[in-house]
Structure 1
Amino acid sequence: MDFALTADQEAIRDAIAGICARFGDDYWLKLDRQGGFPNDFFQALAESGWLGICIPEAYGGSGLGITEAAVMMQAIAQSGAGMSGASAVHINVFGLNPVVVFGTEEQKRRILPPMVEGREKTCFAVTEPNTGLNTTQLKTRAVRKGDRYIVDGQKVWISTAQVADRMLLLARTTPLEEVTKPTLGLSLFCTPFDRSKIKVHEIDKMGRKAVDSNELFIEGLEVPVADRIGEEGHGFEYILHGMNPER
């Protein structure tokens, strides 16, 4: 197989390297010491259209593929930004793919353009305490009440929750004991990050201080049915369309 970059991919790499050159070692060292999201860097990528590299053109993106996004992320990390720079844009680049694939036309037009333009940030609220990587065992519940769901539960190691405007939330809508297989009964939502119902505690950690990691405590969060992505109970299938490309 030929793993050489195409001319277009080389152009992407060079364009990203040019943006990253404006954010040198001193910029990232300061953030690594003091913390704080790299907003200047994030907005520079947004203004040049790179946050939408995988988003269809109809919603403001470039409509390119995972390979092109990987070239972009590698160029960011190689520039000296490392995982601080890459993690700052991971979710906007890869994590929104479930919305692209399974969202309604209304959802895509409402959710995607603000992300592409850098006007909104999102976080990926999946991992929970005591379940580790066994996603089928999630305890966060979303109970439907008319035209909305009431969500209660905890999440952990959630990146960028300090600055998020929205979250991709995976929660159990059907109890585990009532489904025919454990991957069923989980539903995916893309909903505003309501800080009156979500308590966010930052986790102190070694490295990547520019991109916050957090515990979330969700109590009585109201999520409109209109913010559910796809069918109820099939969120595990949908979330893989974001997790697999990101990984």
Structure 2
Amino acid sequence: MLSAEQQQLREAMLRQCSEFSDEYWSEHDRSGEFPEDFYRAIADAGWLGIAMPSEVGGSGLGITEAAVMMQAIAESGAGMSGASAIHINIFGLNPVVVFGTEAQKQRMLPPLLSGAEKACFAVTEANAGHNTAQISTRAERQPDGSYRISGDKIWTSTAQVADKVLILARTAPIEASKRKLDGLSLFYTELDRSRIEVRLIHKMGRHAVDSNMLFIEDLAVPAEDLIGEAGKGFEYLLHGL
């Protein structure tokens, strides 16, 4: 049962979403166009920071409140297109909140919460599926502390419009790791389209929010874009799912 405050939040979100008709969502599903007007309205009203700390421009509420908000968006007629359009803004960078440095929080979070930047979430691979330990995307550490990432990802949403990518890559071979899920590292970095080919996947539905294959070749990632410690990325990732 929702608290009085949660019910107020739900009603406020339903009012916000009433600006976007069923026809709006039908047209975007037909055209495959990202719902930019919806995204901008949610950002301008301050909803994207619902679960993020106030120190970085968020509302400081909890995951329950964020879930209430997302359910109201879907219920309004936006369905999964509306919810998926802002999902990573709401939940995806919680690993930065929990494990990032203060400098990373101040650099990475405000642009996402304001809607100034869009991001995508690159974890799944065709030959690994839900067996995340088996991902083959590699991040090779360079002498200056930076990384070079190469590999392929699949079912990455919003990559057609994203500025940034949250990417999980292996920094230590699985055979050299104590546990299979060790040796994975999490990065939040620029989606450099000269090094990442984004190829659209044609789906049966939810066309307004794109799904993609990513082909990453020698992507340069600064040391300061590594979240937390190298090798602990899977543990961190669980805080954003």
What is the DSSP-based 3-state SS (H/G/I as helix, E as strand, rest coil) of the residue aligned with 1:236?
Answer: helix
2:210 maps to 1:205: no
Partner Cα distance (2:3, 2:137) in 1: 44
2:98 maps to 1:101: yes
What is the DSSP-based 3-state SS (H/G/I as helix, E as strand, rest coil) of the residue aligned with 2:209?
Answer: coil
What is the DSSP-based 3-state SS (H/G/I as helix, E as strand, rest coil) of the residue aligned with 1:152?
Answer: strand
Question: 1:136 is matched with which residue?
Answer: 133
**C-alpha deviations, 1:115-146, integer Å up to 9, x for none?**
11000011110000111100010100000002
Question: 2:25 is matched with which residue?
Answer: 28
Question: 2:6 is matched with which residue?
Answer: 9
Gaps of 5+ in 1: none
Which of 46, 65, 70 matches 2:67?
70
Question: 1:236 is matched with which residue?
Answer: 234
What is the DSSP-based 3-state SS (H/G/I as helix, E as strand, rest coil) of the residue aligned with 1:169?
Answer: strand
Question: 2:44 is matched with which residue?
Answer: 47
TM-fit CA distance, 1:188:
0.3
What is the DSSP-based 3-state SS (H/G/I as helix, E as strand, rest coil) of the residue aligned with 2:117?
Answer: coil
Q: Sequence identity, in percent?
A: 62
2:116 maps to 1:119: yes
**C-alpha deviations, 1:90-116, integer Å up to 9, x for none?**
111011110100000000000000011
Gaps of 5+ in 2: none
What is the DSSP-based 3-state SS (H/G/I as helix, E as strand, rest coil) of the residue aligned with 1:216?
Answer: strand
Partner Cα distance (1:147, 1:234) in 2: 17
2:191 maps to 1:189: no
What is the DSSP-based 3-state SS (H/G/I as helix, E as strand, rest coil) of the residue aligned with 2:43?
Answer: helix
What is the DSSP-based 3-state SS (H/G/I as helix, E as strand, rest coil) of the residue aligned with 1:200?
Answer: strand
Question: 1:155 is matched with which residue?
Answer: 153
TM-fit CA distance, 1:173:
0.2
TM-fit CA distance, 1:147:
2.5
Partner Cα distance (2:6, 2:36) in 1: 26
Question: 1:223 is matched with which residue?
Answer: 221
Between the two proteins, the alignment pairs up a number of residues equal to: 240
Partner Cα distance (1:192, 1:159) in 2: 16
Instruction: Write the letter of the residue equivalent to 2:174.
Output: L
Question: Please, what TM-score do these two structures have when normalized by structure 2?
Answer: 0.99
Instruction: Write the letter of the residue equivalent to 1:55.
Output: M
Please list every run of at least 4 consecutive aligned residues from structure 1 whose deviation after the TM superposition is greater than 6 angstroms. Answer: none
RMSD, matched Cα: 0.6
What is the DSSP-based 3-state SS (H/G/I as helix, E as strand, rest coil) of the residue aligned with 1:77?
Answer: helix
Question: 1:171 is matched with which residue?
Answer: 169
What is the DSSP-based 3-state SS (H/G/I as helix, E as strand, rest coil) of the residue aligned with 2:76?
Answer: helix
Question: Please, what TM-score do these two structures have when normalized by structure 1?
Answer: 0.96
TM-fit CA distance, 1:15:
1.1
